[in-house]
Amino acid sequence: MRASNLYAPTLRNTPAEAEIISHQLMYRAGMIRKSAGGMYNFLPLGWRTIRKIEQIIREEMDAAGGQEIMMPILQPSELWEESGRWAAYGDEMMRMKDRHGREFCLGPTHEEMITALVRDEVRSYKQLPLMLYQIQDKFRDERRPRFGLMRSREFIMKDLYSFDKDVEGMNVSYQKMYDAYSRIFTRCGLEFRPVEADNGAIGGGHSHEFTVLADNGESSIACCTKCDYAASDEKAELAAIIEPNEELLPLEKVATPGTDNIQKLADYLQVPVTKTIKAIAYQTDTEELVLAFTRGDHEVNEVKLLNLLEGARELRMADEEAIRAAGGCPGFMSPIGIKAGTHVIVDHTVMHMHNAVTGANEIDAHFRQVTPERDFDRQLITVADIRMVQEGDACPRCGAPLHMTRGIEAGQVFTLGTKYSEAMGATFLDEQGKEKPLLMGCYGIGVGRTMAAAIEQNNDADGIIWPRAIAPFEVVVVAVNAKNEEQLAYAEEIYSELRTEGVDVLLDDRKERAGVKFKDCDLIGYPLRVTIGPKAVEEGTIEIKVRRTGEVLTCTRDAYMAKVVELLQEL
């Protein structure tokens, strides 16, 4: 490819709408252009990187036993009604009707469609295990699409689905995919961490997110400082914090005027925040009132909380009217005095507190010297781990401190069990001729997110620093003065020799100033730049620049090829 023919309109200024580094650099490097909110055109350079990521994925999926298929993006509502997700999926599903009034959606995921496909063909355990995958566009009507490819309404995903005869087989398939994902992100040249994760709307059981580590990542991750435990902040398990024993004092109601938040309360009563109990009131999409209680310095983990509420899909802050109807008082709540039948969930750390302070369900009043194990009615509350992990919390595996870091979820693996096969009647006959539901797994990689995550992890003030495996081109040959026929001819020869050697190379033959070309090379992020200037023509001296380190080497015509190959192998 010659740069004079390449459609790569680079920009010197950053578009105002581009909030994060990957979005900014993909725009400036001429890789994407916006078509509508959350929807992007891929230009040639961006598409080359997408295709390289896809090829790595295909090779590893095939090596793990996957078979590539292609399913329709447009999916009939009947399949989603069978699984119970047509109404449950929510507003992110893009729905439409055809001319006959039949309802469809643009697929946000394909569990229903793949289950229907397999149930119509698989009859016997002898046809299992089975792993089918596709690489295809998905659609989700994000409330607020942003961050470029990170949170868009149309995106490219690889989704693989496994089918097995038993739990053991399902777990084997899960491990195959876990290992394949590790190889994929390693081959893409990324620093990543598999972390335990919540299954979300997909459902099922065991799950890991493959998170590319990046300072600007949208995900917060808890990593053990000693063992290999890692989990998303939504999933991280937390043991109850046990307070030292102390003399238990009698429960006492006290006036606390104007103390409708934890810090005001702690200051007024001159107690540590760790001696207070905080209340957060929610309502679900089914209008159920949920009162959640944590220690004053802790935050409620709404994902954990929602997982405890059967049938609920969403949480919102509760209306004051609903709180008062349950016997509560906004700003002064506690489980003491709440009406029976209200869903009260108390974090298990709270149950190990002594002589603490909590609301009295009465304006400007609190109880102090509260010992929840003594003073809360255990028949009216649910005790569970509902708090958000914090820096320094104890690892649930070994007890060492947890460290919080940030990352970008690029892939996720799930065991689904029989969630979809039972709902949709996808069964097989086992060795004894007994009909059983298929055991399923689901495995996704966001291709565009992987591209964006790679940029978030690999950039500097000058632009992108691509890992070799997914760079749009491995090497760019720059003719410093393309108007000089000798220089251009020399650059053409080097370009031809590199192509013959199998190097993925671009020739920058544009009749632009050298500074413009060099800035574009750094912005786009080609791993190696081979510069052909006057010294090459006059002395046979070829300059090679390594984008990642900035190192510049000079080689003779006879030695440059070996050095290019050596440097590429090191990248």
pLDDT tens sequence across 274-310: 999 999 999 999 899 999 999 999 999 999 999 999 8
* Cβ(13)–Cβ(139) below 8 Å: no
Q: Are residues 72 and 191 in the same domain?
A: yes
SS (H, E, C) 130-197: EEEEEEEEEECCCCCCECHHHECCEEEEEEEEEEECCHHHHHHHHHHHHHHHHHHHHHCCCCEEEEEC
Rounded-to-integer distance, Cα 296 and Cα 266, Å: 9
What pLDDT is stored for residue 301 in this prediction?
96
Nearest 5°: CA angle at 567, between 561 and 568? 90
Q: Mean per-residue pLDDT for 133-139?
A: 97
**Angle value at C-alpha 543, between 189 and 509, nearest 5 degrees:** 85
Last residue of a domain, one of 327, 352, 384: 384
Q: How far apart are CA 329 and CA 283, in angstroms?
A: 15
Statement to judge: residues 223 and 82 lie in one domain: yes
Angle at 207 between CA 147 and CA 52, to 5 degrees: 50
Alpha carbons 412 and 518: distance in angstroms, whole number: 38
- Asked if the model's pLDDT at residue 518 lies above 70, the reply is yes
Tokens of 51: 């295709």
Q: In this structure, what are the phi and psi dihedrals at residue 47, rounded to the nearest 5 degrees? A: -70, -35
What CATH code is carried by the domain that includes residue 290? 3.90.960.10
**Cβ atoms of 439 and 165 closer than 8 Å:** yes
Task: Give the residues across from 300 on adjacent strands.
Answer: 387
Contact between 416 and 200 (Cβ < 8 Å): no
Residue 199: pLDDT band with limits 50, 70, 90: low
Domain with 334, as residue range(s), is 252-384
Q: Which residue's entry shows tokens 């046979």?
A: 540
Dist CA 22 CA 463 (whole Å): 10
Distance CA 333, CA 28 (A): 52
- 206 or 340, higher pLDDT: 340
Q: Closest Cα partner for 42 from 149, 142, 144?
A: 149
E strand or H helix that includes residue 555 = strand 552-556
The mean pLDDT of 145-170, rounded to a whole number, is: 95
Choosing from 456, 485, 516, the residue where a domain stops is: 456
The answer to whether residues 408 and 502 belong to one domain is no
Reported as a single tens digit per residue, the pLDDT across 412-450 is: 999 999 999 999 999 999 999 999 999 999 999 999 999
> Confidence band (pLDDT; 50, 70, 90) for 202?
very low
Q: In this predicted model, what pLDDT tens digit does every residue of 26-63 receive, in sequence order?
A: 999 999 999 999 999 999 999 999 999 999 999 999 99
Q: Is 223 in the same domain as 257?
A: no
**Which whole number is the average pLDDT over 224-245?**
92
The answer to whether residues 484 and 58 touch, using CB atoms and an 8 Å cutoff, is no
Q: Are 417 and 170 in contact (CB under 8 A)?
A: yes
Residue range 538-563, pLDDT digits in tens: 998 999 999 999 999 999 999 999 99
Question: Measured at the alpha carbon of residue 539, what is the angle toward residues 533 and 544, in degrees to the nearest 5?
Answer: 50
**206 pLDDT more than 90:** no
What is the pLDDT confidence band of residue 568, given thresholds at 50, 70 and 90? very high
Domain count of the fold of the chain: 3
Q: Does residue 8 lie in a domain region?
A: no
Residue linked to tokens 């569990």: 111
Share of the chain above pLDDT 90, in %: 90
Per-residue model confidence as pLDDT tens digits over 3-26: 999 999 999 888 888 889 999 999
- The pLDDT of 96-117, averaged and rounded, is 97
Q: What is the mean pLDDT of the chain?
A: 95
* 218: pLDDT strictly greater than 90: no
ω into residue 145 within 30 of 0, thus cis? Answer: no
| Domain identity same for 55 and 90 | yes
Of 57-66, 199-208, 235-244, 312-321, where does mean pLDDT reach its minimum? Answer: 199-208
| Chain position carrying tokens 């090779």 | 59
Q: Do 75 and 152 belong to one domain?
A: yes
Q: Does residue 141 sit within a domain?
A: yes
Structural domain contains residue 247: no
Same domain as 497, residue 450: no
Domain presence at residue 43:
no
